[in-house]
Amino acid sequence: MLPLLPFVKICKIITKRNYVLKFLKEYMPFYKNYKKEIFFAIIGMFLVSISTAATAYLVKPVLDKIFIEKNIHLLYLLPLAIILAYFFKGIGSILQQYYVSYIGEDIVRQIRDKFLKHILSFDLNYFKTTHSGELVSRIINDINRIQGAVSHSLANLLRDVLMAVFLLGVVVYQNPKLAFFALVILPFIIYPVSIISKKLKKLSKEAQKQTAKLNKHLSEIFKNIETIKAFNAKKYEIKKFEELNLKYLKINLKTIRTQAILIPVLETLTASIAAVVIIVGGKEVIDGEMSVGAFFSFMTALFMMTDPIRRIANTYSRFQDAIAANERLKEIFNLKPEINSGNEKLNSIEKIEFKNVSLKYGDKKALKNINYTAVKPKIIGLVGDSGGGKSSFVSMIERFYDASEGEILINDKNIKNYDIFSLRDKIAYIPQNVHIFNDTIAANIAYGREINEEKIIEALKKANLWNFVKNLENGIYSVLNEGGSNLSGGQRQRIAIARALYKEPDVLILDEATSALDNKSEKVIMDSILNLKNKLVFIVAHRLNTIENTDEILVFKNGEIVCKGKKEELLKNCEEFKKLYSKS
Ligand SMILES: Nc1ncnc2c1ncn2[C@@H]1O[C@H](COP(=O)(O)OP(=O)(O)OP(=O)(O)O)[C@@H](O)[C@H]1O
């Protein structure tokens, strides 16, 4: 009983800290859809394990019957049996490889889809405060790490456990007493392995963090390449990158060192088993209690067992890597968006009312006690000092942010009651920074909707871009570069305006949408917009001439609407507007 005590203790430690089981339990629901694949993979595993045990078992008749008893019939039969054993092992291996890969690839595909869907439900604020490189690193690197664990590592683990069990069967069958001596030492292998694995898990988490930092830094460099070149900041960026890269190397080397310790530890411990077996088994063979064939079959099976056991240890460390990746993914999966959709479908927007609305970004109050009602049709201009709150005001209509105090009503009902998809469907928002997709002009304008050529041309005309597009070789099917780098700033803005008009929204929001245009182009576009029928239009502008013909002008200062009215009225009674007017 005494030698079993450490074994019991080790089992307790392993089950108590069994992150692997916890990890696999989380992924169990995915496996439900792969009954057929799992069936074939398990058949494969059994074939591999049984054939391996059979090859070890065959050592006994080969030695005893052929070499000692000199049985001529078995001389031809036994090699055939060995070939068959390897043949079935091969078939099993193919089955396992294919079906296991299939399961792993498909689960990972589902996780990627689920992850992106989840992330896209987050509030705008999340994206403003989280680096895109970090998110890409999670979607690509972390999920790939999990792929290995949920497919090959799991299958190899099962196969190796099966193989170890069958080989153990051979060992016990050949000599139970000798097996007892050999196996008493086995638990001593598990304990150091579990300690090293724990360290590997920690290191792996650090390495993943460092990879994300490298990605983040690289994507920042490529995104801001113009600024880097213009400010001669190449050396500065390279230095920053080198520091991160060096840290990454150090962590990886530490991981490699720790991994490298694992194998020698295992091998030394295995050698001690061999020593015990030779002493005890050799004595039995000398005393005639055991045949030479049985001894070598025993030894073969025992040494063959070290392979699956060593692989189990390796797989265990690979699991640590996947578990660390999984924890990082879970951090994001556990986040919930603060802005949630309502249930009521919104068919049209007739009226928007801000009732005592305040908006805070963290501790900073960007809007204070705003009261304003707009009824369709109306065109509203928003002006004021930089940082006055104009963009915040319009972005709340899309529910990019919810009111910290007060409420916004659409058609007299709280905006939060409405299905957010139907709400945004009725609004077209042209942000300060226009985004152009690497696709055709038509696809950029219809963005996410079906392409109707006539409507596209009409939108391009209203956005004063048709004369440019019609002269392009491929017209509306000309491909735009990522970020619109083959367009001028003004053309990019006009694409965005055409995109918004194509949507035929009830509410059109232009947030500095014409700032890059020359006066002539802007006038053509503003005329198109002023002629739009039955819409609510919000135009944020720094240039006062952009909004001078609107139905109403709102003047923002320090998060408040300080005046509102037509240009002529404001010029008479609004000091703030007069100041802005004199500056323009
Ligand atoms: N996402 C954000 N997180 C934290 N603070 C923000 C955020 N967006 C805006 N702010 C702050 O809120 C205030 C109002 O900003 P907002 O962009 O609404 O002003 P604006 O009138 O549109 O300015 P501009 O004319 O310069 O575009 C500013 O002080 C700004 O620094």
Please report, in tens digits, the pLDDT of each residue of the chain (584 residues total): 333 444 444 444 445 456 777 888 888 888 888 999 999 999 999 999 999 999 989 988 888 888 888 888 888 888 899 999 999 999 999 998 899 888 888 988 898 899 889 988 888 888 888 877 778 877 888 888 888 788 778 788 888 888 889 998 998 998 888 888 777 766 676 677 777 877 887 888 888 888 888 888 888 888 888 778 777 788 888 999 999 999 999 999 998 898 888 778 777 877 877 788 888 888 989 998 889 899 989 888 988 887 887 788 677 767 878 888 888 888 888 988 888 889 999 999 999 999 999 999 888 889 999 999 999 999 999 999 888 999 999 999 999 999 999 999 999 999 999 999 999 999 999 887 888 888 899 999 998 888 999 999 999 998 888 989 999 999 999 998 877 778 888 888 889 889 999 988 999 999 987 777 777 777 877 887 887 778 999 999 888 888 888 899 999 999 999 999 998 899 888 898 888 888 77
The set of residues, in sequence order, having a beta carbon less than 8 Å from that of 565 and lying 6+ positions away, is 552, 553, 573, 574
Q: How far apart are CA 516 and CA 542, in angstroms?
A: 11
DSSP state of 385: S
Given this model, what pLDDT does residue 7 score?
Answer: 43
CA distances from 319 to 12, 16, 141, 259, 306 (A): 19, 16, 15, 13, 19
Order of strands across the sheet that contains 351-361: 364-375, 351-361, 405-410, 413-414
Q: What are phi and psi of 428, to 5 degrees?
A: -115, 125
Q: How far apart are CA 166 and CA 426, in angstroms?
A: 66
Q: From the CB of residue 409, how many other CB atoms can be counted at a distance below 10 Å?
A: 15
Q: Best of 127, 354, 360, 361 to mutate for ligand 1, by most ligand atoms within 8 A of CB?
A: 361
Q: Delimit the domains of the chain by residue range.
A: 4-333, 351-583
Task: Note the maximum CA span of the chain.
Answer: 121
CATH class of the domain defined by 4-333: mainly alpha
Strand partners, 508: 428, 537
Q: What are phi and psi of 569, to 5 degrees?
A: -65, -45
Query: Tokens 């660390």 identify what position?
Result: 324
Q: What is the position in ligand 1's atom list of the atom closest to the CA of 542?
A: 25
The first and second tokens of residue 549, run together, are 């013909």
Q: How far apart are CA 581 and CA 584, in angstroms?
A: 5
The set of residues, in sequence order, having a beta carbon less than 8 Å from that of 13 and lying 6+ positions away, is 191, 194
Q: What is the position in ligand 1's atom list of the atom closest to the CA of 382?
A: 21
User: How close is the Cα of 385 to the center of ligand 1, in Å?
Assistant: 11
Q: How far apart are CA 255 and CA 47, in angstroms?
A: 35
Q: Best of 391, 393, 397, 576 to mutate for ligand 1, by most ligand atoms within 8 A of CB?
A: 391
Q: What is the position in ligand 1's atom list of the atom closest to the CA of 401?
A: 1
In CATH terms, the superfamily for domain 351-583 is P-loop containing nucleotide triphosphate hydrolases (3.40.50.300)
Q: What is the position in ligand 1's atom list of the atom closest to the CA of 556?
A: 21
Query: Tokens 């491909």 identify what position?
Result: 479
Strand partners, 382: 540, 554
User: How close is the Cα of 366 to the center of ligand 1, in Å?
Assistant: 7
- ipTM at complex level: 0.94
Q: Do residues 518 and 512 lie in contact, with contact meaning Cβ atoms separated by under 8 Å?
A: no
DSSP helix/strand/coil, 165: helix
Strand partners, 440: 479
Residue nearest to atom 8 of ligand 1 (CA): 392
Angle between helices 35-61 and 292-333 (to 10 degrees): 160
Q: From the CB of residue 325, how many other CB atoms can be counted at a distance below 10 Å?
A: 23
Given this model, what pLDDT does residue 354 score?
Answer: 95
- The β-bridge relationship of strands 427-430 and 507-511 is parallel
SS3 annotation, 228-263: HHHCCCHHHHHHHHHHHHHHHHHHHHHHHHHHHHHH
Q: What is the position in ligand 1's atom list of the atom closest to the CA of 364?
A: 5
User: How close is the Cα of 394 to the center of ligand 1, in Å?
Assistant: 11
Burial code (b: 16+ CB inside 10 Å, e: under 16) for 282-317 equals eebeeeeebbebbbbbbbbbbebbbebbbbbbbbbb
User: How close is the Cα of 530 to the center of ligand 1, in Å?
Assistant: 27
CA distances from 258 to 64, 198, 248 (A): 44, 10, 16
Q: How far apart are CA 497 and CA 509, in angstroms?
A: 10
Given this model, what pLDDT does residue 6 score?
Answer: 41
Indicate the length of the chain as a whole number.
Answer: 584
Given this model, what pLDDT does residue 502 score?
Answer: 92
Q: Which helix (H) or strand (E) holds 356?
A: strand 351-361
